Structure 1
Amino acid sequence: MAAPKLKLPAGRKRSRGSLPALRAAVPTVLLTLLAAGAGALWGTRVIGTVETTVMKRMEEASPHLSVNPAMAGGLVLKRLAPIVTNLAAPANAWVRIEAALVLEQKAALSAEPLIGAITEDILAFLRSVTARQMEGAAGLRNLREDLTERIAVRSKGLVRDIVIETLVVQ
């Protein structure tokens, strides 16, 4: 037995299923792809612009200028290894200091043993300091003066100054 065919009322045609839905979706898909392509193109252009701007600003902030030895007066900057130690008080306080020494150029050639002794001296001094003594601008100034004095004594005048690059008390 054959299945009976359904008769549609007069004036109505049989729909073709998803063809009208597909026709409506094609422009949406094309516009989405166009927008994604334009966004990707714009994003790569912006990334390139941002990278060049950042690199230019970094070069302006720290230009690689050649230093005239006559202007520097024969001084050299030697970085110390980061020093991490606990403080005298409070019991759970720690300090990390990164510093550099300003040395005479002739003393910098054989400064490794001297730098090791200075690092040990700074470490011993920091263990005797409290966190309260390093508070504020006055505390930082006093710390720098104390370190400069100890280093001058230890190096017998070969080290001119200390530059505290970072100081973190935790």
Structure 2
Amino acid sequence: MTTPEDTGSAPKKPSAIITIAVVLALSAVAAGGGWFVGGMLAPQVEAAVQPAEAEAHGGEAEGEAHAVPKVVALDAITTNLAYPSENWIRLEVSLVFAEMADEAMAQTIHQDIIAYLRTVSLQQIEGARGFQHLKEDLTERAALRSQGKVASLMFRTFVIE
């Protein structure tokens, strides 16, 4: 009985041609799968884009006025925190109104934000989670104060000293 060790020959390695053929076959399967999935998703994307384009172009052609969200940049807010009182906060925010912007309402919200920030402690707004809670609180207060006219609140700057 002879074994490969006895004959001195090493086991055969797969040839380069077989390796290339396997890689090409797998590439063809991957390309075909991508084409198939893309074909399934493309009609859904087109269906979602067409109404938006028709609304945008149709409104311009007919001359109809659409309610476009308006962004109002509030004046910079600088105030001290509740605790520790030697820490100051400076932020600039913008309000996104769902309908036409109301400057008087924006100024009321500006004053409300200042009053709220004076009740906040540094520990409450520390870290990413604290910042997220602050943003949610300010957005909720703005929406309540405006009776739902403010859709969101955007931070432009946020500094604590």
Calculate the TM-score normalised by the size of structure 2: 0.58
Residue matched to 1:142: 133
Q: How many residue pairs align between the two structures? A: 100
Amino acid of the structure 1 residue aligned with 2:74: L
Q: Distance in 2 between matches of 1:149 and 1:88?
A: 20
Q: CA deviation at 1:91?
A: 1.8
SS at match of 2:83: coil
Q: Distance in 1 between matches of 2:113 and 2:80?
A: 12
Percent same amino acid at aligned positions? 41
Calculate the TM-score normalised by the size of structure 1: 0.55
Residue matched to 2:81: 87
- Cα deviation code 1:59-109 (max 9, x no counterpart): xxxxxxxxx994997211110100000100002010001010011242x1x
1:13-162 superposed matches below 5 A? 70=56, 74-106=68-100, 108=101, 111-162=102-153
SS at match of 1:165: strand
Q: Distance in 1 between matches of 2:121 and 2:142?
A: 20
Could you tell me whether the CA contact under 8 Å between 2:79 and 2:117 is conserved in 1?
A: yes
Question: Unaligned regions of 5+ residues in structure 1, if any?
Answer: 1-67
Amino acid of the structure 1 residue aligned with 2:75: A
Divergent runs of 4+, >6 A: none
What is the RMSD of the two structures over their aligned residues, measured on CA atoms? 2.2
- Cα deviation code 1:108-152 (max 9, x no counterpart): 1xx111011000100000000011111111011000000011011
Larger Rg: 1
